[in-house]
Structure 1
């Protein structure tokens, strides 16, 4: 095991085969301890993790890693068992072989020091509230909720005891209780831990931050709130320098124009003197040559000053320009006060939603939040566990209320050949030009609009799904969102909050993001739980 786990990025760049630049000349160091990796969607955070993990090779530059690496990706595979998701299947199989009498050295190598791997796995899973036993390790992982799968993958990262651990948006899909467990666990994690996240609470626990800002990578020692203050100061400085550069450029232009006017006046005076015969021919040539030389020198001087001022202004503008954000103008979505939107009966509890209410659906992972939403919208799955989960649930959704639904998993996008096709599928009246203009507002521009959604980043896929929902035909009056901020950068989350703040329809949202819940001013909360059956509480406030 390495004595000083660390990752060093030395001028690393990564280009796709078609020449698209994902990362360019990145310099960063990740020491032992917890480092947050932030940046806008599309800035290359996941690509950088894959370079560190050795899954990709930099086009240029170098990535140096001291010790072993374990990765918890943003999109988890649901193939295989819980043990596969934990990463302990090989060790378990070797243990079974040894218990059966095998003396094969390969089996002992596979076990290593992990003779108690099953016991430690079960203990960690129980600490995460998963009620695990040996049989649970063999459960089909496709039957897990998103939050359950994430919890298991995080437990696997603890069990791996790698020198360098990479977590890509680890709090996505996690309930509030498990988010608290993760934050506490990160404080005692051994080795170097690099976390891609937009979770403000988690980023308050980091030792350092690396920001893949398109204007230049920034390394900062401190928490997110400290970095936010630093960034605000840096932005204010950049804007001041831009104002100064504007003033310098305007001054250089005035000086150049004044010199042109003075030269024109001198030329007119010289022509007048020659016309009056006050200057001899030889003197005319002498003064003409001297005047032209002076004029040329001054012109060169002013051209240089203008060029330098223009370059300074360009650089100041680039430094002061904020990153792009999604720009949403919602269609008319108002719903009258008191109009029935949704009636939901769970056991003895009757839950009603009327008018432009805002309700947050909460509960621990595995209680059935996503399944309830999918069933509400007619997307009920056929798996027996889903049917059992929803026994005793009755849903009444008036057909006169158009519904928009943004699911937690966006696999449905993969059936489209391009982002344009995906948008037009939800709004057939839109022309390809309309769809392209709409996608540009969601930062899916130029050739990216023609790309298959399956090739897009998590942030791009989310923005595409959001465009499909908000601009569907007819426009939604009930908006149902399942963990909408999972794949958004912080700037886009703020933009989403502003847009939803203007939404005048009814809003039903599943979120464990306390920042989002607070900013949206949620009025009521439906809290789901599990006993022998699904139960729900209706409470005021978020």
Structure 2
């Protein structure tokens, strides 16, 4: 098999000394590969190394052809235009100059063969549902989902030989996701995608799992991977049971051997005391018995140690994915109590003019990209509520990337001691040195866990949570863990998300729809 991307013994360490990859070997063949793994395992770092955006401490990467990379969070400035994001502004400027009569050679050089670049760009935007977005529109006027789709359009427009997508469905509405799925299905080149979108991962040809510093490739899509993994885990658990039974047997046999040897020694001592045979023969037999007993004991002890090792090896093959835990009784809200009464300022017929939330309601906020869901959540947060409110924005900018996880949480809970903060962080899987890691070095999923820990550690704790696309950047296991954690939260929730399976898992009590034209309606 020929490989389009080869990673040879690559190691990478953050400037603060945090090791991300250590001697990693991997290879990605032609076709579509879904790269999965726990948050913090190094998936995004690996894509950046393949793209040449990060330089490994050691090892090498070989890529066949040009590489395109769409990162989790596009490094955007509000004044950039759609044309800038598409990477065609210089070519457009040269085209317009030539059309205006400026025939200097430098303009023709800048254009090259891209005389139809504007037409191709508009066509690509339209294919992805962005026909309403002009090339000169600024990024500041785009929604998060629209920005992601423009970034995707840029990659599809330039057609790299190897395309790397990092959580491309973040912030995308259902229509945009379907368009992305269609584009991925039709992609003719090499594609490596990191995603928690199950539908998208079911379109790939193979799944590569990054776990414990190694990459293992499974043939087939996500459903095939999960089926194979379930079979592996069933076999691993069966081996643990066999190893445990063997360990119990070896312990029992060792005890029985010791009892038997003790009886022989007492018998030998008794015979020696009675002196029924010559002294020299009795001493020789006693020495032989002692040597034999020693060998017998050593044999059983070695068997016991081997049984322990087999059990340890079998246990290591069984996955133990610890989940985050939320237990905050002080966030509980009595049923029927009004926690939010907010004027949506809508004058559209049939829309919700006043949003009222009572007790521990769980409200899903749906709507296409650019419809104003984030704007609504920000307005609610700015206006305040009848109870303490916590807001988790899409970009998780409530954290200071220069500070450690501990210091960020302490900033939200100044009255808590370091030990109290560490105990809370342990529930969000930040233990030991992980709690001291600078937030700026965390993966998207780890950053989310840190932000949620800071939010729920606030004094007073929030009794109303506003979450804007909370499953962005989370791996599949973390989405499941988040769903379980929020199910235990006893306050009220308003969650803006396009992830319907995730929303259904929260036990949503009301569904609201935010649209550009009709405003906020109950669905």
TM-score, reference length from structure 2: 0.91
Question: Could you say which residue in structure 2 is the equivalent of 1:352?
Answer: 356
Q: Is the 8 A contact 1:346 1:536 kept in 2?
A: no
For each residue in 1:401-438, what CA deviation from the matched residue of structure 2 results, as whole angstroms up to 9, or x when unmatched?
12121111122312662211221222222110111121
How far apart, CA to CA, are the structure 2 residues paired with 1:415 and 1:41?
17
CA distance 1:491–1:505, change in 2 (3 Å): same
Aligned match for 1:469, one of 425, 449, 455: 455
Question: Could you say which residue in structure 2 is the equivalent of 1:39?
Answer: 37
Q: Is the 8 A contact 1:424 1:435 kept in 2?
A: yes
Aligned match for 1:370, one of 359, 368, 374: 374
Q: Which secondary structure state, in structure 2, belongs to the residue aligned with residue 525 of structure 1? A: strand
CA distance 1:290–1:14, change in 2 (3 Å): farther
Question: Could you say which residue in structure 2 is the equivalent of 1:293?
Answer: 291
CA distance 1:97–1:259, change in 2 (3 Å): farther
Q: Which secondary structure state, in structure 1, belongs to the residue aligned with residue 329 of structure 2? A: coil
Is 1:413 equivalent to 2:399 in the alignment? yes
Question: Could you say which residue in structure 2 is the equivalent of 1:387?
Answer: none
Is 1:231 equivalent to 2:229 in the alignment? yes
Deviates more, 1:412-421 or 1:240-249: 412-421
Q: Is the 8 A contact 2:329 2:490 kept in 1?
A: no
CA distance 1:289–1:511, change in 2 (3 Å): same
Question: Could you say which residue in structure 2 is the equivalent of 1:186?
Answer: 184
For each residue in 1:6-38, what CA deviation from the matched residue of structure 2 results, as whole angstroms up to 9, or x when unmatched?
223344443446664323454433222221111
Q: Is the 8 A contact 1:330 1:471 kept in 2?
A: no
How far apart, CA to CA, are the structure 1 residues paired with 2:239 and 2:58?
33
Post-superposition offset of 1:73? 0.3
How far apart, CA to CA, are the structure 2 residues paired with 1:439 and 1:155?
39
Q: Is the 8 A contact 1:331 1:475 kept in 2?
A: no
Q: Output the aligned Cα RMSD.
A: 2.4
Q: Give the 5 Å matches for 1:124-135.
A: 124-132=124-132
Aligned match for 2:492, one of 493, 497, 506: 506
Q: Give the 5 Å matches for 1:193-204.
A: 193-204=191-202
Post-superposition offset of 1:176? 1.3
Question: Could you say which residue in structure 2 is the equivalent of 1:91?
Answer: 91
Q: Which secondary structure state, in structure 2, belongs to the residue aligned with residue 54 of structure 1? A: coil
Is 1:486 equivalent to 2:467 in the alignment? no
Q: Which secondary structure state, in structure 1, belongs to the residue aligned with residue 145 of structure 2? A: helix
Q: Is the 8 A contact 1:203 1:223 kept in 2?
A: yes
Q: Give the 5 Å matches for 1:9-408.
A: 9-16=7-14, 20-79=18-77, 80-96=80-96, 100-104=102-106, 110-132=110-132, 136-214=134-212, 217-342=215-340, 343-348=342-347, 349=351, 350=353, 351-378=355-382, 397-399=384-386, 401-408=387-394
Q: Give the 5 Å matches for 1:430-469.
A: 430-469=416-455
Is 1:520 equivalent to 2:518 in the alignment? no
For each residue in 1:52-72, what CA deviation from the matched residue of structure 2 results, as whole angstroms up to 9, or x when unmatched?
212334445543211110000
For each residue in 1:196-232, what CA deviation from the matched residue of structure 2 results, as whole angstroms up to 9, or x when unmatched?
0011121121111111133853311222122212211
How far apart, CA to CA, are the structure 2 residues paired with 1:284 and 1:109?
106
Question: Could you say which residue in structure 2 is the equivalent of 1:535?
Answer: 519
Q: Which secondary structure state, in structure 2, belongs to the residue aligned with residue 293 of structure 1? A: helix
Q: Is the 8 A contact 1:169 1:197 kept in 2?
A: yes
For each residue in 1:316-346, what CA deviation from the matched residue of structure 2 results, as whole angstroms up to 9, or x when unmatched?
1111132232222233333233322323333
Deviates more, 1:451-460 or 1:19-28: 19-28
Q: Which secondary structure state, in structure 2, belongs to the residue aligned with residue 338 of structure 1? A: coil
How far apart, CA to CA, are the structure 1 residues paired with 2:110 and 2:324?
48
How far apart, CA to CA, are the structure 2 residues paired with 1:286 and 1:145?
92
Q: Is the 8 A contact 1:357 1:507 kept in 2?
A: yes
Post-superposition offset of 1:287? 1.7
How far apart, CA to CA, are the structure 2 residues paired with 1:271 and 1:248?
34
How far apart, CA to CA, are the structure 1 residues paired with 2:489 and 2:15?
42
How far apart, CA to CA, are the structure 2 residues paired with 1:85 and 1:272?
95
Q: Which secondary structure state, in structure 1, belongs to the residue aligned with residue 5 of structure 2? A: strand
Segments of structure 2 that go 5 or more residues without pairing to the other structure are none
How far apart, CA to CA, are the structure 1 residues paired with 2:309 and 2:42?
28
For each residue in 1:80-134, what CA deviation from the matched residue of structure 2 results, as whole angstroms up to 9, or x when unmatched?
3322222223433454566531324xx656544433222111222233333456x
Q: Which secondary structure state, in structure 2, belongs to the residue aligned with residue 29 of structure 1? A: strand
For each residue in 1:451-499, what CA deviation from the matched residue of structure 2 results, as whole angstroms up to 9, or x when unmatched?
2212222111100111112232222221111111112221121122122
How far apart, CA to CA, are the structure 2 residues paired with 1:485 and 1:84?
28
